[in-house]
Every structure is written in C-alpha cells, then in structure tokens.
Amino acid sequence: MPHAPVLIPEVGKGRERDAGSTVDAMWRLAREVVESRPDSIFVISPHAPRRPVHYGLCSGTYLRGDMSRFGQPGAKIQLKNDRPVAFEMAKTFRRHGLQTWKIAERPVDHGAFVPLYFLTRSGWDGPTAVLGLSEFGGNSREKAGDAIREAIQNCGRRTVVIASGDMSHSLLPDAPCGYQPRAKEFDEAFVERVRTGDYATLSLIDPDLQELASEDVVDSTLIAVNAVEMSSQNHEVLSYEGPFGVGYCVARLFDASEARVGDGSCLPEVARSAVEGKLGRRNGPVHRPVNDFLRQPAGVFVTIRRRSGELRGCRGSIKPRHENLIEETRAVALSSAFSDSRFEPVYVDELDDLRYEVSVLYPAIPVVSRADLDPHRFGVIITTPDGRRGLMLPEVAGLDTVDKQIEETCKKAHIDPREPMSFERFEVEKFKED
C-alpha cells in the first residue's frame, strides 16, 4: 500500500480525487483485510526511524499518530501495539543474525499511518505492530522476511503483513525529486513483476534505476514476499498511477485463502425460503454459512420484484444485526416481504411471480463532495446533523445522475435538499435469481 498523505481526504481536500484509482483500491484492500478477520496486522514502513544495521520495532502500549505535520491534527489513529509479536520478532531476528532496536514511543510515521488510516476507517481496531527498516539492507531483507514468518507462526496468529511504499518520485517535472525520464521504467518493471507474481526478480531490478527513481518500495516489498516464501497465491495488482509525479501501486501480494472471493449465490434462495416458509408454502433447504464470505456479518438489502420488474418490496440493514450473511438475509427478506410500508404484505398466491435480489453492502466511506459520488457504481447515504438518514442503492433505474440520486434519497428520507447534510458512499455485491 502506498503512503502518500495526500490520499487521505482530510489532507487532500479534494486533490485525492486526482488519485481516485489509488484511493478506491486502498479502500477495497482495507475492506478485504478487515473482512478476513486477522488476529493482528504488521506494517513494514520505510519512513520509521532508522539505524545503519538495526531493524526498528515500535515500542509502547499504543500506536498513535495524526496528520499534524500535514495540517490536519484531527486525522488520528490509535491502536494497541502488538507487543507480544514485537517481542517474539526481536528473538527471531536475533536467531537469523539480525539486530533490532526499540523505537521509543512517538507518533507513528506516515509510512505506517496512511495504510492504517484506511484500515481503521474500514473497521480495524485490533493489535498492530510496525517494523522500521535498517539503513543498509543487502541480503538481510530475505532474512527479515524469514524471521517475520517464524515469529508469526510461533505466536499462532493469523496476520496481515503490509509493505508500505511509494514508487518513483520523479515521474513529472514538478515531482518531489525532480523529473527523470527513465523513472517510469522502474515503475513498469516493478508493477510487471508484481502483476505476474515474479517476486524472485524484484531484487534484480537495476540498482542505478532504483536510485534514479528515488523509490522506497522495493525493500519493504522484498521483506513481505519473503515472509511467505515468495508465494504469490491470489495475487492481484488493484491499481497503478502517478498523478503527482509519484508512482502509487496497490496490490494484494499473497492470500492464504483457498478461495479469496466467497460465493454468495445462494442468498436469493435464502431470501425466497424465508418468505415462503413464513407463509407455510414450503420448508426450504436449510442454508448454513459454509464459506468465509457467508460467515461474515454485513449489511444487506433484499429487493423483491414481480416478473414484470415491478417493485414489490425492498428493505435492508446498513449495519449488520446478525452474526453472518445467512441470518442477515433471512431477517431482511422477511422485512422486505411483510414490513415495507409502501406495499401490502406478500401473499401466498403471488409467490411464484416474485424474484429476489440480495445486495451485500461493503462498509460506507465518508466523501467530501458530490464529485465523489457515482450512482452507477456507488450507493449513497445522506445524513443530516439531527440524525435523519436516507440510503439509496447503486444502479437504480432512472437515477443515472448524482443529482437525481441525491434528490430521490432525500425524498425517501423526508430530507429537504437545501438542508445541511453529509454524504457517504458504499459499494455492493449483488446476487440475483435467474
């Protein structure tokens, strides 16, 4: 994950929209991390304090930080420092012939802060540790990865390891390190290796090209991929761009899951079974949360339509009320069928004419202006200062502009469009009956 403070909305103040692909990928990856329910998170930061041959481990009870240096002290994080993991790593590093030192408690550097900002805003509040690099790496990056893997295994933790790093700082004339025409060659070489999962050749990128590019991504990435023995299972480059003269790459390097994307195709049948069972039509199959996707708690909307497309009911939950998607879908389906005040309750004779669509909501993200909305891609939540709130799903027929989406959401929630209001956007994953 990159670590440019401008990617944070409070700091960017709209400029982050010029790196929209990166910001969206950061939110997506943060959601994936949180939804995978790890026991801990471990960040490798190139901007933590350094010593020549020692790797640093942040000390203290908490990891705290803010964006005061960038004019936004209100953008803060606080997480419990995973001291058991840090203590175990100090031991395993020694066993691998590496030295460590304790970084005194202080605000976390922006190399750790920026990834953790996206993670905490996506719901992460668990134990977290931060590793700072040594000034001189050499072949110690491979040993450091091995030591991290050994420490995590010894602690018995399911851990997400994050390599923080930006790529070339010289892509444009006004770039932080000046313009270097060949800087893009480094980014192309790095991204291609990540895209193909060819991690073993990351260390073979021309050192002169690395220096010319003024990058700070290779070392942290080499440590991370060595922590999983160069495996690239379920790897994916989510985005790459360089709008401010600095290259940003967001990627999943490795995921131990057998199937990263869960299968929610049974959810429309879950909704149908709940409604028909309530009316005594049948006892449908017993659905259980058989994969990680179905085991997660998440907000759900169930839309019921006639074969003709006419809406028959739609209710939902922004925040999950049940422990998994099966139970959430059952409850919401009953509410849509029998408690949508716009319609009469569903009755037995029309059951064969009904079709069910289940939308699983990803966590909502605050946005600073209407320019960050897109009714074809994002749903919207509008909130007034007194707590009234309206929600509209994405891809609603007839709502093909931001203004129409906002207008209908306000009407639905009895909000005057001229009132002060704040916006959140969210993505959904939809499952429909054939």
pLDDT tens sequence across 239-291:
999 999 999 999 999 998 654 445 788 899 999 999 999 998 765 666 777 77
The answer for residues whose C-beta is within 8 angstroms of residue 9's C-beta and 6 or more apart is 16, 366, 367, 368
Give the model's pLDDT for residue 259: 43
| 430 neighbors 359 (Cβ within 8 angstroms) | yes
Backbone angles phi, psi at 210, to 5 degrees: -60, -45
Strand partners, 354: 306
pLDDT value at position 136? 86
Mean pLDDT estimate for the chain: 92
CA distance 75 to 40: 22
CATH 3.30.700.20 placement within the chain: 267-361
Enumerate residues 6+ apart whose C-beta is below 8 A from 190.
Answer: 167, 202, 205, 215, 217, 218, 249
Pairing of strands 54-58, 128-132: antiparallel
For domain 267-361, give the CATH number.
Answer: 3.30.700.20
DSSP 254-282: ----SSSS---TTHHHHHHHHHHHHTTS-
CA distance 355 to 323: 25
pLDDT at 369: 82
For residue 285, what pLDDT is reported? 62
Report the 10 Å Cβ neighbour count for 286. 7
The pLDDT score that the predictor gives to residue 260 is: 43
What is the second-level CATH architecture of the domain 5-252?
Answer: 3-Layer(aba) Sandwich (3.40)
Write out residues in the chain with pLDDT < 70, as ranges.
257-262, 282-286
Please report the pLDDT score of residue 261 as a whole number.
44
Give the model confidence (pLDDT) of 177-195 as tens digits: 999 999 999 999 999 999 9
Residue limits of CATH 3.30.1490.150 in the chain: 365-432
Rg for the chain, CA atoms, rounded: 24
CATH architecture of 365-432: 2-Layer Sandwich (3.30)
* Cα angle, residue 103 at apex, residues 167 and 151 outer, rounded to 5°: 80
